[in-house]
Structure 1
Amino acid sequence: MRAFALPIAVLAALSGLSSCNGDAGGAPAPSDPYVRLSATDRLVRASIALRGVRPSTVDLQAVQADPTKLEGLVHDYTLTPEFGLTIKDMWAEILQLRNDTFLQLPALDSPPLADEDPLGLAAYDLQEIYEGTTEEPLRLVEYIVTNDLPFTDLVTAQYALVDDVTANMYGVPYDFESAEKWQMSAWHDERPKAGILSSAQVFRRWESNGSNFHRARANMVARELICEDFDHRDILVPGGIDIADEAAVAYAVRTETACIGCHQALDPLAGYFWGYKQLIHRNFVGQSIDMGCEFDWSNGAVPEFGASYLYEYYCYPIQQYSAPDEFLWQQWGLPEPSYYGTPARDLKEVGELIADDPRFSECQVRQFYGYYGQVDPTEVDIGTALDLQASFEDSGFDARQLAIDSVLRDEFAILRSNDPVNFPVPAGGGLLTVRPEQYARIVEDLTGWRWMAVGDQADCNSGSNNTVQVYGNQCWGEVDLSDSDLYGFRAMSGGIDGVTVSRPTHTATPTKLLTMSALAADAAGYVVTNDFALPATSRRLLWAVESSTVDEASIRAQLAQLHLRILAEFVAADSPQVDLSYGVFAFAMSENPDPAAAWKLTLTAMLQDPRMTFF
């Protein structure tokens, strides 16, 4: 039963569950204008922020008994696989990489050369292609953080993490006989090696159209790595410039005073990205394979976009980078490449300059703290940023320690202000809203349920399908509805789609609550059915009752345990909080005297409690 269709009586009972946890924040000290989270609620906030799951009952009980254990548990949380997943979530959002609505490259093989085996993607479905490409830069970031490498490797690493999809797509060295899917490798082509500045997917996602001349790429690098967003500069652009004329634009950025204000720094930085193909789209790759991976020079034909954009370069393995193109800026009279006035030979040296730039370390603490505290990096208080920057640099750019320091800061534990006019809640304080990735991970951790579905059409890999004929397999297989926009509800739940929705929504919108209710109902049904099919010691939630249990004392005892496991709330079986939960269970039994069905309704309600939405 979907929660949004619950009877009025049940909704009335549920409203009591939204009352604040009595342990959520005690009365402020006489000199403290803020209400702060209790130690256990700080643990909840840190656990969800760092790894996207709620703390175990054992951890909650440990901190309840001894609040000094909080710091040690927070450190331990950064040693779990979920911490690495959250690092990937963070950088997928920062770089806007998870965009499954963007057409995937063709699931085709290139024609074989001589006696070689064909190279390509015909063996994969679109989900595998999407994950293989999107994960490539994210695995690099995760590897750096979870292996305690200096975070400057983000822009200086000589290595890359690739899977078989990326290896086939770009011809990267890869051991196809190994059982290890993601392997350490390095880009084999002419691109300078500089961490994510060498990433194939980063510069496939961040394109350069027409007369943009790689400025969008340069601005992305400036915005996300050193927090210098050229788009935020207050400049009045004069009229009379034909922005459709590439030559006119190139001239204006050198001569118009208003334009020079940005372009004197932006264009030299953009000059380092000319080696990358401007675009790599599905249609051109498919056309190139269809044309036999060889441009026909007969009858005086010339490639529309230049000699670096031939069919042979767009067949697998795609030649994404061309060293001779590094100097094409000269043809447009653009300024010589440099990093904010400092000469650099290529992106490798640019990466080294970024790593040495104090703006890089400050920007990264803003990125981390901003992500955990759900504020724009530019809104992080300067005092917070400088404190974290000093610790970050002293640690040797240890991003794991930066994450720990971020969630243990005093302002991160502020719930609200008693005097908001004179003492506003600082950035990172206040109620935080669960992200779609976090809610999905929380629900899976609690219930074992993952919101998977297949949305493929019956002819997704049929030869009669015209799209299949041109681009190969169009099947996605199973997708996680919490982590998809093509078939699922990620952006509708407050996330981003990486294209049209570029910033998350940190409020409880109607669509967010509707998708959460659907997931909660499915998960509740799943865990009840599965728990009652297992021995009590192997169950996830219902270990104190059986499917036939109806006596009130046993039901209340189980509910009290659920309040702790799901809501991090220490309550007795005869408490007012359990009274309300028992009211939901009793109502369900009055409608249908089946304890299993009553537990499904009760758990559906608890998984939608406001404390599951806010933390």
Structure 2
Amino acid sequence: MVRASRWWSVALWWAGCVAPAEVVHDPDPSTPTTSTPVETPPVSVLTPDELLTRVSLDLRGIRPSIEELAAFDDAPGEYEAVVEAYLHDPHLQRRAVDFYSEIVPSRIAGEFYVDLDTAYGDRIDAELLKQHVAEEPLRMFAWVVEHDQPYGAMVEGNWTVVDDLLAKIFPVDYPADGTGWQRATYTDGRPGAGALSSNGLWWFRGSAVMNRQRARGNLVSRVLLCDDYLERVLPFSQQAFGSDDAMDDAVNHDPACQACHATLDPLSAHFWGFYYDAVGRQSTVAVYHAEQERMWEGAAPPGFMGQPSDGLGSLGAMLQDDPRFASCFVEEAFAILSRRDAKDLDIDLSDLVQTYEDTGGNVREVLRAVVMRPEYRGYDPRLARRRMAPQVFDSMVEDLTGFTWTTGDVDQMTAFPGYGVMVGSSDGAQLGQTTATVSTILVQKRFAEAAAAYVVRSEGASGAERRLFSPGFDLAAQDDALVEAELSHLYLRMLGRELDEGDPELVALSELFTSALDVTDDTNEAWIAVVTALLRHPDMENY
């Protein structure tokens, strides 16, 4: 352990102290970062390799191959064709799931509304079940993308996407011999409202009886309309909270309270069919309870923005008629793909809203429109570099190394319990957006170490398939020329840039390999040090 720690220190020193070879792409400190308009520069601040890497990571969740980099270098004008290919790449499906997990953070929920241990612990591992339940609304979005359905399908119709594990406990018409994620319908008579009538969404976000489903109503407003009631700042009288009766009266009559409750309470009243009493009712939690739909009585009836509704089955159409439904998804798509809030930068997205409307809400076309915008392509220095989302880092590392950080079948990077919040993912509650902290660096450090060890040992085996190292390269080789050539290959594969002889980064990598080999007398350990350092390179997650 002492010897290993010495070369790990060398790896961490290299990853932390050697700056990217080209730092000119970072935004100038004098560039406005608020709502001040920025003139479009005559040329992109991104090189062709950087642009290709960006769009590949954002649409596929993986870095471009060496062959793709070479082809784009020869024909950078073919960007539109590259985007078209990536929008129909098989990797888009996983990327769509990860994409929507940033909008509906069901994977990282600290506490599920349902006590899974009590309800199903005798049959199914609770943590595994939680991970699968959390995927339901995300897989529905991926299905919409794959089949070019309108985004509005997410809130209409009796349909879902479940796998064979969920089919064991959900009332769905999943094939008896089926496996994997498939489209299905609920068979318990629940209203058809797409994801709004899915177990996965409401097991993730519950509501106590005195809360009157407001947590669920606010989730719908925040996710689908970009209107979070909890972010509103309103003046309150302390007398309004003197007693339960006073509070109920204030909700209905106090102007400050009514500013939210006049619209939130009717929206929330749609979801009583998913309420359940935790005492003695675990066996019924998977089914919809139509007999509870009128538990809103005594408060506001179901409605939306002043208009009465016919219940949950009609809510989806009312949501889609609200202009915020289209503009919200466009804002979310731009923010996820650019890692910037358009409102903060005073960027007009009306053309993206028009694309949404012209294509009937086709998600693929909205994504295309975002990545074709000049800001995305490097013509706005405020968007020149950005930090990678944890979900993208996870899929990228898996593609490069084949490594997934799992305990049992639970992905530690994207699920709870795990390291999702530590690595920066939103939990939809205490942490409202992706955030980088010291904990993020710690998790990525351990992730990089484990992934590097995995790929070196697996690809170093005789006859092993290669995804990272060059085919035919002997990891036991110590010849300087062979080692330097492989270091150049790794840098190009992992960071998308060719290194010339004598490049400071190539020299640093060579010194790292030599130092690790001197300490360990093991070429595998030396390559682990190199791959770890590259996975922790600043350009690995800032692109």
Alpha-carbon distance in 2 for matches of 1:554, 1:177: 52
Gaps of 5+ in 2: 32-38
- Counterpart code for 2:94: L
Alignment of 1:139-538 (within 5 A): 139-178=139-178, 180-242=179-241, 245=244, 247-277=245-275, 284=279, 288=280, 311=281, 314-315=282-283, 317-318=284-285, 320-330=287-297, 332=298, 334-376=299-341, 379=344, 381-383=346-348, 385-414=349-378, 417=381, 425=382, 429-453=383-407, 477-486=408-417, 488-505=418-435, 507=436, 509-535=437-463, 538=466
1:296 corresponding residue in structure 2: none
Alpha-carbon distance in 2 for matches of 1:265, 1:356: 16
| Residues 17-46 of structure 1, C-alpha deviations (whole Å, 9 max, x = no match) | 432447958999x98288621221111111
Are the equivalent residues in 2 in contact too, given 1:100–1:130 (CA < 8 A)?
Answer: no
Alpha-carbon distance in 1 for matches of 2:302, 2:329: 24
1:569 corresponding residue in structure 2: 497
Are the equivalent residues in 2 in contact too, given 1:170–1:318 (CA < 8 A)?
Answer: no
> How far does residue 395 in structure 1 lie from its aligned partner after superposition?
1.6
- Counterpart code for 1:268: P
SS state of the match for residue 148, structure 1?
Answer: coil
Alpha-carbon distance in 1 for matches of 2:462, 2:17: 32
Is 1:94 aligned to 2:94, yes or no? Answer: no
SS state of the match for residue 103, structure 2?
Answer: helix
Alpha-carbon distance in 1 for matches of 2:166, 2:333: 28
- Counterpart code for 2:170: Y
1:19 corresponding residue in structure 2: 20
SS state of the match for residue 95, structure 1?
Answer: coil
> How far does residue 596 in structure 1 lie from its aligned partner after superposition?
2.4
> How far does residue 481 in structure 1 lie from its aligned partner after superposition?
2.3
Name the CA shift for 1:254/1:26 in 2 (closer, same or farther; >3 Å). Answer: closer
Alpha-carbon distance in 2 for matches of 1:513, 1:3: 20
Name the CA shift for 1:494/1:5 in 2 (closer, same or farther; >3 Å). Answer: farther
| Residues 256-275 of structure 1, C-alpha deviations (whole Å, 9 max, x = no match) | 12222222222222222223
Name the CA shift for 1:229/1:538 in 2 (closer, same or farther; >3 Å). Answer: closer
Name the CA shift for 1:578/1:89 in 2 (closer, same or farther; >3 Å). Answer: same
Are the equivalent residues in 2 in contact too, given 1:275–1:323 (CA < 8 A)?
Answer: yes
Are the equivalent residues in 2 in contact too, given 1:121–1:168 (CA < 8 A)?
Answer: no
| Residues 388-438 of structure 1, C-alpha deviations (whole Å, 9 max, x = no match) | 111121122110121122123211233874xxxxxxx2xxx1422122222
Aligned length: 532
> How far does residue 340 in structure 1 lie from its aligned partner after superposition?
0.6
> How far does residue 374 in structure 1 lie from its aligned partner after superposition?
2.3
TM-score after normalising by structure 1: 0.79
SS state of the match for residue 251, structure 1?
Answer: helix
Name the CA shift for 1:416/1:344 in 2 (closer, same or farther; >3 Å). Answer: closer
> How far does residue 198 in structure 1 lie from its aligned partner after superposition?
0.7
Alpha-carbon distance in 2 for matches of 1:389, 1:481: 36
Is 1:580 aligned to 2:508, yes or no? Answer: yes
- Counterpart code for 2:300: P
Alpha-carbon distance in 2 for matches of 1:5, 1:268: 62
Alignment of 1:68-147 (within 5 A): 68-99=77-108, 101-102=110-111, 105-106=115-116, 122-147=122-147
> How far does residue 581 in structure 1 lie from its aligned partner after superposition?
1.4
Alpha-carbon distance in 2 for matches of 1:233, 1:202: 24
- Counterpart code for 1:155: V
Give the RMSD, CA atoms, in angstroms: 3.1
Are the equivalent residues in 2 in contact too, given 1:160–1:185 (CA < 8 A)?
Answer: yes
Structure having the higher Rg: 1
Alpha-carbon distance in 2 for matches of 1:143, 1:433: 28
Are the equivalent residues in 2 in contact too, given 1:39–1:70 (CA < 8 A)?
Answer: no
Gaps of 5+ in 1: 110-119, 289-310, 418-424, 454-476
> How far does residue 366 in structure 1 lie from its aligned partner after superposition?
0.7
SS state of the match for residue 151, structure 2?
Answer: coil
